[in-house]
Amino acid sequence: MQKKLKNRGKLRLWVQIGAFAVVEILALVKWLKELGVSIPFFPEISLHAVCPFGGVVTLYDFATTGALLPKLHSAALILMFLGLFVALFFGPLFCGYICPLGSFQEWIGKLGRKLFPKRYGKLISPKVDRVLGYLRYGVLAAVVYQTAVVGKLVFQDVDPYYALFNFLTGEVAVTALVVLLLVMVLSLFVERPWCRYLCPYGALLGLFNLIRIFPVRRKASTCIHCGKCDKACPMNIPVSQKAAVRDPRCISCYECVSGNACPVNDTVTISTSKGGNAQ
Amino acid sequence: MKLKPQTVILLASLFVIAGIAATMATGLWQTESDKIPRKLTVAEDAENSGQTQPTAEAGSTAQYDPADIRGSYTFGEISNLYGVPLTHIAQAFGLTYAQAEGFQAKTLESRYPDAEQEIGTASVRLFVADYLGLPYTPTEDTWLPKTAADVLGASGHMNADQTAYLQTHTLP
């Protein structure tokens, strides 16, 4: 039984590693192609083509001119719609399981926990953390507006995700590299700092937590108030104080649910309101 | 209704895979440029200015829009699409004919690392527009090297505005 639970907890890690590897391979194949080296059987796809946030920022252009922004292709738009549809049911699953930048920060965070055990997670007070969390909505609005005005991918110049996977190409702006470096350093002290405070795509997906069909729910009648769900949450959401997690910061990692952090069966679950967990 | 995390992942994966497969099957899924630029069309009110003033519009039957030249286009492709002789594009940006054929517009910047102003894809758009005498409003401060200005001076079809712009936007 214990082994089964352990394996369940590792599911997310394996999905994260897989997603990270796919993006890394795409970036490497593209880079090698630029150098004149073709890798057989691997498609040459630019990261812009498979970035769902590209779909978000090109929506204005698509709606007004029928064309996508330079460097973007229909795949980005399709992935955006698929991602939003999934979020409608399960919340920002993309953030918790797929986003390679999120995973990258999480892995650095594990190192940070070991290097700075007393400071990790305590650099920013919960109050300030909550206020800073609203910054990402400002970033989302600014990026969408600026992209619509300028007509090109303005976010690329500060995007740590683009910098992380393209730094070999020499096409990455210095500002993006600086942001990536700052995110890496901060990740040693703060869990997922980019996701928490600045990620515009996370901001958009996070809103779906308010309406998602399958939120994380806590059954008060069986809850033993051990607080393990709170400790497991990478976004500092007080799960133990909620009947249903509708917090926009939730990344649908499911670390808190029964079988992962929660030691009591059928207490913190992923369910609809008719699932019997409503308080 | 309750779901386990594994079930959620499975359902979400199946949905995304099915979505991608369906859009692939219907030809909607594209991960690379089809390298067909947007076209220009002649505006109906052109007679007001006394000359035809094409404007950008997808799907029309006129000349391709220089503004839609992508960084991934090679000079060979630009030559084929826009009808600008490859020899002239090569000459404009200091390349041999053989080099120019597969030279991507986005790599132009690396040929002018010490230039005071950026010479890149936007410069290629400007060059093609000026060469063909087509309208193009640079989105940034776009510059051309002197070699390109020389080619335009000899073979281009610039109007007065384009000539004036080039006089102040040519690198020595």
pLDDT per residue as tens digits for the range B109-134: 888 888 888 899 999 999 999 999 88
Q: How confident is the model at residue B82 (pLDDT cuts 50, 70, 90)?
A: very high
In a domain? residue A145: yes
Domain final residue pick, A191, A209, A227: A209
What confidence score (pLDDT) does residue B61 get?
52
* CATH (domain of A238): 3.30.70
**Which positions in chain A touch B9 (Cβ < 8 Å)?**
11, 15, 93, 97
Euclidean distance between CA atoms B172 and B164, whole angstroms: 16
Q: Give how far A85 is from chain B: nearest CA, Å.
A: 9
Residue A252 resides in a domain: yes
Tell me the C-alpha distance between B52 and B3, whole Å. 63
Single out the residue of B78, B47, B48, B45 nearest to residue B63, CA to CA: B78
A193 and A219 in a single domain? The answer is no
Domain identity same for A112 and A168: yes
Q: What is the pLDDT of residue B46?
A: 44
> How many angstroms separate the CA of residue B116 from the nearest CA in chain A?
18
A49 contacts in B (CB within 8 Å)?
30-32
The DSSP string of A185-197 is: HHHTTSSSHHHHH
Q: Do A123 and A249 fall into the same domain?
A: no
A152 and A47 share a domain?
A: yes
- Please check whether residues A85 and A192 belong to one and the same domain: yes
Question: Is A278 within a domain?
Answer: no
Q: Which of A157, A176, A209 is the last residue of a domain?
A: A209
- A165 and A265 within one domain: no
The whole domain housing A227 covers 215-271
Same domain, A131 and A237: no
B4 touches chain A (CB under 8 A): yes
Please list every residue in chain B whose beta carbon sits closer than 8 Å to the beta carbon of residue A5: none
Residue A266 lies in a domain: yes
Q: Please check whether residue A135 is in contact with residue A146, taking contact to mean a CB–CB distance below 8 angstroms.
A: no
Which phi and psi angles does A247 have, rounded to 5°? -75, 130
Nearest-CA residue of chain B relative to A16? B9
Whether A270 sits inside 8 A of B3 (CB atoms) is: yes
Q: Are residues A104 and A142 in the same domain?
A: yes
Question: Is A279 part of any domain?
Answer: no
Domain end marker among A163, A183, A209: A209
* Cα separation, A211 vs A67, whole angstroms: 31
Q: What is the pLDDT of residue B140?
A: 64
A201 in the same domain as A225: no
Is B33 in contact with A73 (Cβ distance < 8 A)?
yes
A82·B16 Cβ contact <8 A: yes
Distance in angstroms (rounded) separating the CA atoms of residues A141 and B31: 26
* Domain count along chain A: 2
Q: Write the CB contacts of B70 (distance below 8 Å, at least 6 apart in sequence).
A: A70, A71, B33, B35, B37, B105, B121
Per-residue pLDDT of chain A (279 residues; tens, 9 = 90+): 455 555 556 889 999 999 999 999 988 988 887 777 877 777 778 888 888 999 999 999 888 877 788 788 899 999 999 999 999 999 999 999 999 999 999 999 999 999 999 989 888 998 899 899 999 999 999 999 999 988 888 899 999 999 999 888 777 889 999 999 999 999 999 999 999 999 999 999 999 999 999 999 999 999 999 999 999 999 989 999 999 999 999 999 999 999 899 999 999 999 987 544 444
A115 and A129 housed in the same domain: yes
Could you report the predicted ipTM of this complex, rounded to two decimals? 0.86
Task: Check if B111 contacts A (Cβ < 8 Å).
Answer: no
In a shared domain, residues A235 and A204: no
Q: What is the pTM of this model?
A: 0.76
Per-window interface: B 40-99 vs A, CB < 8 A? 58, 68, 70-71
Burial A202-212 (b: 16+ CB within 10 A, else e): bbbbbbbbeeb
